[in-house]
Structure 1
Amino acid sequence: MRSTMGSMPLSVAMMLRRAAATGPHARLVGVTAAGRGVQTWPQLAERARRLAAALPTLGVAPGDRVGTFACNSLRHLELFYGVPIAGAVLQPLNVRLFADQIAWIAAHAEDRVVFVEAALTPRLAEIRPELTGVRRYVVVPDGTEPHPDFADAVDYEELIAGAPDEEPAEVDEWTAACLCYTGGTTGRPKGVVYSHRSLTLHAMSGLFADSFAIRESDVLLPLTPLFHATSWGMPYSAALAGAGLVLAGMDTSPQAVLRLVREERVTVAAGVPTFWLAVDQLGPGADDLGTLRRILCGGSAIPLELIQRYHRRGVEMQQGWGMTEMSPSGSLTVVRGHLADRPEAERLALHATQGFATPGVELRVVAPDGEVLPHDGVSPGEIEARGPWVTEAYHRPDDDANETRFRDGWLRTGDVGTIDPDGYLHLIDRDKDLVKSGGEWISSIDLENHLMDHDAVAQAMVIAVPHPVWGERPAALVVTCAEVDAETLRAHLRSRVASWWVPDVVEFVADLPTTATGKFDKKRARALWQDRLAALTPNGGKS
Structure 2
Amino acid sequence: MPLSVGMMLRRAAATGPHARLVGVTAAGRSTRTWPELARRARQVAAALPALGVAPGDRVGTFAWNSLCHLELCYGVPIAGAVLQPLNVRLFPDQVAAIAAHAEDRVVFVAASLTARLAEIRPKLTGVRRYVVLPDGTEPHPDFADAVDYEELIAGVADDEPAEVDEWAAACLCYTGGTTGRPKGVAYSHRSLALHAMSGLFADSFAIRERDVLLPLTPLFHATAWGMPYSAALAGAGLVLAGQDTSPQAVVRLIRQEGVTVAAGVPTFWLAVDQLAPTAEDFATLQRVLCGGAAIPLELIQRYHRRGVSMQQGWGMTEMSPSGNLTIVRGHLEGRPEAERLALHATQGVTTAGVELRVVAPTGEVLPHDGVAAGEIEVRGPWVTASYYRPDDDANDTRFRDGWLRTGDVGTVDPDGYLHLIDRDKDLVKSGGEWISSIELENHLMDHEAVAQAMVIAVPHPVWGERPAALVVACAPVDANALRAHLLPRVPSWWVPDVVEFVAELPTTATGKFDKKRARALWRDRLAVGTPSGGES
Shared fold (TM-score, shorter chain, > 0.5): yes
SS in 2 for 1:532: coil
Cα gap change, 1:337 to 1:538, in 2 (>3 Å): farther
Q: 1:200 aligns with which of 161, 186, 193?
A: 193
Match of 1:363 in 2: 356
SS in 2 for 1:415: strand
Note the 1:161-310 alignment, pairs <5 A.
161-285=154-278, 288-310=281-303
For 1:166, give the aligned amino acid: D
For 2:377, give the aligned amino acid: E
2:100 aligned with 1:107, yes or no? yes
Q: How big is the shift at 1:287?
A: 6.8
In 1: Cα distance, 2:291 partner to 2:528 partner? 34
SS in 2 for 1:192: strand
2:395 aligned with 1:402, yes or no? yes
In 2: Cα distance, 1:69 partner to 1:284 partner? 32
Unaligned 5+ runs, structure 2? none
Q: How big is the shift at 1:282?
A: 1.1
SS in 1 for 2:377: strand
Residues 117, 140 of structure 1: 8 Å contact kept = yes
In 1: Cα distance, 2:176 partner to 2:136 partner? 30
SS in 1 for 2:406: strand
Q: What is the CA deviation profile of residues 195-242 of structure 1, one whole-angstrom value per residue up to 9, with x for unaligned ones?
A: 000000000000000000000000000000000000000000000000
Residues 505, 537 of structure 1: 8 Å contact kept = no
Match of 2:421 in 1: 428
For 2:366, give the aligned amino acid: L
2:163 aligned with 1:156, yes or no? no
Q: How many residues align?
A: 532
2:62 aligned with 1:66, yes or no? no
For 1:202, give the aligned amino acid: H
Match of 1:138 in 2: 131
Match of 1:477 in 2: 470
Unaligned 5+ runs, structure 1? 1-7
In 1: Cα distance, 2:531 partner to 2:422 partner? 25
Match of 2:44 in 1: 51
Q: What is the CA deviation profile of residues 253-297 of structure 1, one whole-angstrom value per residue up to 9, with x for unaligned ones?
A: 010111110010000000000110001111244972120010000
SS in 1 for 2:469: strand
Q: 1:392 aligns with which of 375, 385, 388?
A: 385
Cα gap change, 1:440 to 1:516, in 2 (>3 Å): same
Q: How big is the shift at 1:162?
A: 2.8
In 2: Cα distance, 1:348 partner to 1:432 partner? 29
> 280-289 vs 145-154, which deviates more?
280-289
Q: What is the CA deviation profile of residues 419-442 of structure 1, one whole-angstrom value per residue up to 9, with x for unaligned ones?
A: 001100000000000000011100
For 1:32, give the aligned amino acid: T
Q: How big is the shift at 1:537?
A: 6.2
In 1: Cα distance, 2:20 partner to 2:321 partner? 26
For 2:413, give the aligned amino acid: D
Q: What is the CA deviation profile of residues 287-341 of structure 1, one whole-angstrom value per residue up to 9, with x for unaligned ones?
A: 7212001000000000000000000000000000000000000100000011011
In 2: Cα distance, 1:25 partner to 1:300 partner? 35
In 1: Cα distance, 2:364 partner to 2:388 partner? 28
In 1: Cα distance, 2:138 partner to 2:496 partner? 51
Runs of 4 or more, structure 1, over 3 Å off, are 284-287, 535-539
In 2: Cα distance, 1:504 partner to 1:286 partner? 41
> 524-533 vs 104-113, which deviates more?
524-533
In 1: Cα distance, 2:282 partner to 2:247 partner? 11
Relative to the length of structure 1, the TM-score reads 0.97
In 2: Cα distance, 1:474 partner to 1:182 partner? 27
2:432 aligned with 1:439, yes or no? yes
SS in 1 for 2:137: coil
For 2:242, give the aligned amino acid: G
2:482 aligned with 1:523, yes or no? no
In 1: Cα distance, 2:434 partner to 2:181 partner? 28
Match of 1:82 in 2: 75
For 2:139, give the aligned amino acid: P
Cα gap change, 1:460 to 1:222, in 2 (>3 Å): same
Residues 72, 248 of structure 1: 8 Å contact kept = yes
Cα gap change, 1:304 to 1:180, in 2 (>3 Å): same
